[in-house]
Amino acid sequence: MKDFIGKNIIVTGCTSGIGLEMVKVLDSEGVNVFAIARNEDKLTKVLGQLRFPERHSAIIMDLNEVESISGSASLFPEKVHGFVHAAGVESVIPLRNMSYHMMDQIMKVNFYSFLEIVKIIAKQKKVTYDFLTSILAISSIASGSGSKGQTLYSSSKASLEAASVTLSKEFSRKLIRFNTVKPGLVLTEMTTRWMRTAGHSDVSEVSQLQLSGLATVSDVTNVLKFMLSDDSKHIVGTSISLDGGGPKTTLD
Ligand SMILES: NC(=O)c1ccc[n+]([C@@H]2O[C@H](COP(=O)([O-])OP(=O)(O)OC[C@H]3O[C@@H](n4cnc5c(N)ncnc54)[C@H](OP(=O)(O)O)[C@@H]3O)[C@@H](O)[C@H]2O)c1
């Protein structure tokens, strides 16, 4: 797509699943990717496998270290055309076993780090710049219909959705729009871990939860790509569900 060539797009969660696929897609579209990950070896390997590795920049950042994020501002481009917050951690834990430390860890990676990165992007964007910036956070259908034990995960995702509404208003003057994309079940390592924790061993059974089965990472990045492009310029402050129509059957 001509639209993407030479644009600067930041992606978190680049070492696995949806974020990894996003980086591959943007690489093939001529984007300069600013890839954020906590593990330098993993990220070097990811970037090394792309078609145009020289075009991209690696930013090593543990999103748990929220207080340190602002210190990396000089590694960000001045002109940011897009940001996809794909990093995230899942959690299935009943309230009685929840410590404040656990609550903090989930919110830091899933939500607070998103705010800190947006702060840098917004501060660096001058009001005189006439291009649109599209900021996307990956929420989840759990934001509105989480299962037992998903209190922390669901709340962190609902926070992203709420922030996308308010931040769209706060930064419209700078032509920054915010949206969230909320998938159902996607075939990634996160889903494999969730199935283990929730005691679901049969993928074909879990596939029955969505009309078209488990989504692939490409099913999600196709939508993210559209949302990053100016073709979606009128979509602002909203949340797009990729839930496969909901369950055809329900698991116990
Ligand atoms: N899979 C699904 O069914 C599903 C459904 C709805 C929403 N989502 C959301 O989609 C997003 C991507 O999920 P996924 O399935 O692709 O997950 P994934 O395969 O587990 O990948 C998660 C990514 O987040 C990174 N990450 C985790 N903690 C980090 C930290 N402290 N600092 C920096 N990076 C960190 C991981 O890095 P490491 O490689 O270093 O661990 C990894 O690159 C998440 O926000 C998730 O909540 C997923």
The DSSP annotation for 180-236 comes to EEEES-BSSHHHHHHHHHHT---HHHHHTTSTT-SBPHHHHHHHHHHHHSGGGTT--
Asked whether residue 110 carries a pLDDT value surpassing 70, the answer given is: yes
Report CA(125)–ligand 1 centroid distance (Å). 27
What does the pLDDT look like over 170-211, one tens digit per residue? 999 999 999 999 999 999 999 999 888 888 888 888 898 899
Beta bridge partners of 82: 9, 134
In the chain, domain spans: 2-184+216-240
Q: Is the CB of 62 under 6 A from ligand 1?
A: yes
By mean pLDDT, which of 43-52, 58-67, 153-162, 241-250 is the weakest?
241-250
Q: Is 63 in the pocket of ligand 1 (CB under 6 A)?
A: yes
Rounded CA separation 116/143 (Å): 21
Superfamily name and number for 2-184+216-240? NAD(P)-binding Rossmann-like Domain (3.40.50.720)
Q: What is the whole-number distance in angstroms between the Cα of residue 237 and the centre of ligand 1?
A: 22
Atom 12 of ligand 1, nearest CA residue: 86
**pTM for the full predicted model:** 0.97
Q: Of ligand 1's atoms, which has the minimum distance to the CA of residue 189?
A: 19
Tokens read off for 155: 């709340």
Helix axes 100-107, 151-170, angle to 10 degrees: 40
Q: Alpha carbon 12 to chain centroid distance?
A: 7
Residue 251's pLDDT band, with cuts at 50, 70 and 90, is low
pLDDT digits (tens, 9 = 90+) for 123-170: 999 999 999 999 999 999 999 999 899 999 999 999 999 999 999 999
Residue 251 and residue 212 in contact, taking contact as beta carbons nearer than 8 Å:
no
